[in-house]
Amino acid sequence: MQAPFDVVAAVKAAKAKQIRVTPCASNRASELGHPCERYLVLCRTCWQQRKPHSVETEFIFEQGREIEKQSLREIEDAGFHVIEQQVTLAIPEFNITGHLDAKISQNGGDKYPFEVKSMNEHIWKRVNSVEDLANSRQHWLRKYPAQITLYCHMEHAPMGLLYLKNKSNGQPKALWVDYDLNYANELLAKATRINNYVAAGTVPERIDEAVVCERCDFGHVCNPDIIGAGVEIMDSAELEAKLDHKAALEAIVEPVKEAIKELGDLKDELRDDLTGKSDALVGKWHVTGKTVSRKAFSVQAGSYWSWKAIKVE
């Protein structure tokens, strides 16, 4: 029996109508941690040309907004005071603006800025410190420490809270971030550079980080200059198909790679915990160990060809 109507198609069409590209006249605290200053300048000067995000991404954003609301409720239910929600903050002299999720306090004590961040289970498990965010391969995670640092700076707070939520099971994780004056000054200097570029009508050099460029909303604005006059045009459908296939496989393998990295990190932790334990019981686990000698070796000097491929439209 044929379905009388297509519910999913209608929902996606309605969701697509909600997607907007909005003007950006300031340096947003939520974006200043982005690794590409060229991107941040284009956000200010070419916002009309920004590629709208996909319907799939809009569903993710909407889920994040719902998780934020639910998180604020559960924090209040736990007896904390959640105040000053969605307050607009600014540092006018650096043209920085932000919208704080809320402030949290206990028993009328000090108030601390905090942000709710939802993430997939693999990432959530790996993030246990500010360094895990700041050094993450996922560039959007690097923006979180910058955002909460700027909010602490604006509110003269000694620390702020990143409330991390696991999208798979709803589990929370509290990551307290000490205010770092040196990092705050770096962000203020970054905002100053962006303001100067905007005023001069120029843009900074591109970064050399393919994983960031591949997902950039301004790729169609920024990419043309990448293809210089001396570029070799290789008319090979077979080679292009191989690159397409590589990209498709990477999309499948990426979650597995994340799990493998997590496994490697866990093994390192366990090695540190169990070094010197030759015979031990840990709950239901019987652990044995011994010292193993290994032969020294050397790698012959040489060179190799390093390459990368960025998809251009």
Give percent above pLDDT 70 in the chain: 91
- Write down the domain spans for the chain: 11-224, 236-269
CATH of 11-224, one of 3.40.640.10, 3.90.320.10, 2.40.340.10, 3.40.50.2300: 3.90.320.10
Of 225 and 277, the one with more pLDDT = 277
CA 80 to chain CA centroid, nearest Å: 28
Please calculate the CA angle 138-170-17 and round it to the nearest 5 degrees: 65
Asked which of 110-124, 156-170, 231-245 is least confident by mean pLDDT, the reply is 231-245
Residue 173, phi then psi, degrees to nearest 5: -145, 130
Q: Quickly state the pLDDT bin for 186 (edges 50, 70, 90).
A: very high
Please calculate the CA angle 224-225-226 and round it to the nearest 5 degrees: 90
Tokens, residue 286: 């019987």
Give CA–CA dist 185/188, Å, rounded.
5
Asked which of 22-26, 83-87, 224-228 is least confident by mean pLDDT, the reply is 224-228
Would the pLDDT of 249 be above 60? Answer: yes
Model confidence, pTM: 0.74
What number of CA atoms fall less than 13 Å from residue 229's CA on the CB side? 0
Nearby residues of 128 by Cβ (< 8 Å), 6 or more positions away: 173, 175
Give CA–CA dist 196/204, Å, rounded.
10
Please compute the mean of the pLDDT values over residues 198-218 and round it to a whole number.
87
The amino acid sitting at 36 is C
CB 122 within 8 A of CB 104: no
Nearby residues of 80 by Cβ (< 8 Å), 6 or more positions away: 104, 105, 106
Query: Which tens digits make up the pLDDT trace of 268-302?
Result: 888 888 888 888 888 888 888 888 776 665 556 67
Integer-rounded Cα radius of gyration of the chain:
24
Per the prediction, the chain carries an average pLDDT of: 88
Please compute the mean of the pLDDT values over residues 165-193 and round it to a whole number.
95
